[in-house]
């Protein structure tokens, strides 16, 4: 490496910070990214975090087993709050899974080059978050051994699911989203898996990476088909980003319950999902770039751009909160206005004000460039957003506490099984994410090389087209 680039270009307002620091050759990019997977032992922090994650994952398994043996009465769900933690956690995890596909698909279609260093682990985060989300409806049904009843398959009882139910729409929306996201993630990894295959030191690694690389040789025909398939999957995933959380919001919006029956829910849920998803990406990116030495690829420019998106989507969510309150008052519907007054000043007012602070107040710090580029402030804000987005779903579900009949009013409080199941889902998510970092390429090497100035024969501003892969190919052979 002959040129050292220091990440201080934010001081010059007329010049953009580079997307890749301290690399002026393609082979050094390959070396640094592959080092994460090829080191015989990961950092000590990986072992500590993985141990904690596995422990929490084990707690999740024990709680699910206890639930199946004992029944859903171990949860805090009661009348009238039939939906408790399971639906809150489901909507929370589906929302977390939105940023990955947004970064990959929508930013790819808009040719945003800054997506390349963060898209791979954001896509992985999507897959693992949707897996966590899918767990909760499955165990929420009570008799999980007959869950096949919910699928539209011919059976001897002539029993079919209710196709007018948004809960069934969820099944189709989330499963389609998961399938497309998984294909998109895997398709993008194929060139990098081939690089790991060619660099493998053991037979087992060579065979394992070789199987998943699908015989990739980096030929012109391979690149052509890869780019077409990637573009088609991006185009397919883009409407799914908008539709999936809209469908999830219909779980609430198509009901007649005050506080739920509102047309603002679909766009409000989509903005909230992108808001919470980006916060989780930044939450994972900050320690990952520190522990695995990825600061040359996940630069401050990447973090600042994500913080700007968090600010914009957070403002949208804040606007939706205010509109909900305004319409509840302006409509003159006493049940609607009562539901919102109860949220603000009722028995769970503390949850509402935590949500307001975390989702509306904390992100406003990102108006300041110093706050957007300060790691500690950034981490504080995104952790607030993670907490606030969970409380948002919690507050929505608590609208069930006080319905139309005062005689049926109740108070919802989660049990220890609820709390440990939520904690265990984070263990499952982190376990899968840490295994991904250890064994799969966390940075999209081929895409990062394509946006470097060296990929352009004239070393000028390079547009994303099909010609750049010749240089990348030569670099991969060289490395």
Q: Which tens digits make up the pLDDT trace of 184-200? A: 999 988 988 998 888 88
For 127, the token pair is 């897959």
Give the N- to C-terminal CA distance of the chain in Å, as an integer. 14
Closest residue by Cα to residue 134 from 81, 176, 84, 175: 175
Say if 124 falls within a structural domain: yes
Place of tokens 């990986």: 46
Instruction: Indicate if the pLDDT at residue 93 is higher than 50.
Output: yes
Q: Give the separation between CA 49 and CA 59, rounded to whole angstroms.
A: 15
Say if 180 falls within a structural domain: no
34-38, 267-271, 319-323, 413-417: range with lowest mean pLDDT: 34-38
pLDDT band at 160 (very low <50, low <70, confident <90, very high): confident
Share of the chain above pLDDT 70, in %: 90
Taking the C-alpha atoms of 122, 123, 129 and 135 in order, what is their torsion angle to the nearest 10 degrees?
-170
- The sign of the torsion formed by the CA atoms of 167, 173, 176, 180 equals negative
pLDDT band at 24 (very low <50, low <70, confident <90, very high): low
Say if 3 falls within a structural domain: no
Q: Give the separation between CA 387 and CA 379, rounded to whole angstroms.
A: 12
- Domain span at residue 378 reads 23-145+219-478
The reported pTM is: 0.86
Instruction: Indicate if the pLDDT at residue 3 is higher than 70.
Output: no
Say if 157 falls within a structural domain: no
3 state DSSP class of 361: helix
* Domains held by the chain: number: 1
CA distance readout (Å), 177 to 86, 100, 242, 243, 274: 20, 12, 10, 9, 15
pLDDT band at 434 (very low <50, low <70, confident <90, very high): very high
- With residues binned 3-state (H G I as helix, E B as strand, rest as coil), the percentages for the chain, rounded to 5, are 70, 0, 30
What does the mean pLDDT of the chain come to? Answer: 84
Say if 183 falls within a structural domain: no
Angle at 110 between CA 27 and CA 31, to 5 degrees: 10
Q: Give the separation between CA 266 and CA 269, rounded to whole angstroms.
A: 5
Say if 443 falls within a structural domain: yes
Q: Give the separation between CA 404 and CA 67, rounded to whole angstroms.
A: 31
Q: How confident is the model over 75-93, as a mean pLDDT?
A: 88
Q: Give the separation between CA 5 and CA 85, rounded to whole angstroms.
A: 48
Say if 29 falls within a structural domain: yes
Q: Give the separation between CA 188 and CA 186, rounded to whole angstroms.
A: 5
For 311, the token pair is 């600010």
Say if 168 falls within a structural domain: no
Would you state the pLDDT for residue 330? 92
Residue-wise over 465-476: b if at least 16 C-beta within 10 A, else e?
Answer: eeebbebbbebb
């Amino acid at each position: 490496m002959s040129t050292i680039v220091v990440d201080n270009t934010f001081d010059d307002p007329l010049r953009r910070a580079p997307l890749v620091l301290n690399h002026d050759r393609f082979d050094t990019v390959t070396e640094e990214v592959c080092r994460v997977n090829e080191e015989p032992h990961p950092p000590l922090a990986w072992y500590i975090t993985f141990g904690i994650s596995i422990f929490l994952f084990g707690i999740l398994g024990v709680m699910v087993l206890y639930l199946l043996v004992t029944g859903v009465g171990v949860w805090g769900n009661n009348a009238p709050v039939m939906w408790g933690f399971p639906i809150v956690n489901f909507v929370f995890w589906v929302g977390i899974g939105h940023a990955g596909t947004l970064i990959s698909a929508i930013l790819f279609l808009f040719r945003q080059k800054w997506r390349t260093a963060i898209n791979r682990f954001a896509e992985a985060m999507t897959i693992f978050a949707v897996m966590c989300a899918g767990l909760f409806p499955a165990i929420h049904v009570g008799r999980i051994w007959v869950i096949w009843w919910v699928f539209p398959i011919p059976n001897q009882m002539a029993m079919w699911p209710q196709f007018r139910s948004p809960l069934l729409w969820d099944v189709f929306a989330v499963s389609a989203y998961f399938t497309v996201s998984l294909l998109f993630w895997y398709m993008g990894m194929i060139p990098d898996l081939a690089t790991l295959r060619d660099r493998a030191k053991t037979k087992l690694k060579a065979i394992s990476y070789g199987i998943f690389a699908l015989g990739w040789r980096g030929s012109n025909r391979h690149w052509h088909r890869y780019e077409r398939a990637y573009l088609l999957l991006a185009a397919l995933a883009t409407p799914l980003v908008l539709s999936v959380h809209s469908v999830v919001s219909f779980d609430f919006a198509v009901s007649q319950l005050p506080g739920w029956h509102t047309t603002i829910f679909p766009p409000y849920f989509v903005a909230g999902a992108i808001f919470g998803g980006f916060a989780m990406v930044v939450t994972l990116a900050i320690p990952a770039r520190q522990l695995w030495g990825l600061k040359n690829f996940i630069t401050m420019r990447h973090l600042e751009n994500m913080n700007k998106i968090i600010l914009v989507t957070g403002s949208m969510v804040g606007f939706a909160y205010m509109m909900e309150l305004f319409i509840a008052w302006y409509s003159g519907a006493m049940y609607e206005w009562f539901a919102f007054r109860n949220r603000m000043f009722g028995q769970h007012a503390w949850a509402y004000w935590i949500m307001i602070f975390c989702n509306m107040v904390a992100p406003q710090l990102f108006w300041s460039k110093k706050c957007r580029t300060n790691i500690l402030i950034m981490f504080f804000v995104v952790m607030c957003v993670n907490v606030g987005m969970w409380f948002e779903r919690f507050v929505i579900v608590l609208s069930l506490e006080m319905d139309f009949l005062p005689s049926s009013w109740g108070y919802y409080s989660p049990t220890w099984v609820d709390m440990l199941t939520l904690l265990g889902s984070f263990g499952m998510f982190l376990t899968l994410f840490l295994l991904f970092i250890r064994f799969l390429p966390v940075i999209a090497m081929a895409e990062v090389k394509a946006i470097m100035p060296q990929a352009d024969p004239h070393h000028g501003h390079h547009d994303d087209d099909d010609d750049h892969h010749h240089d990348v190919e030569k670099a991969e052979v060289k490395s």
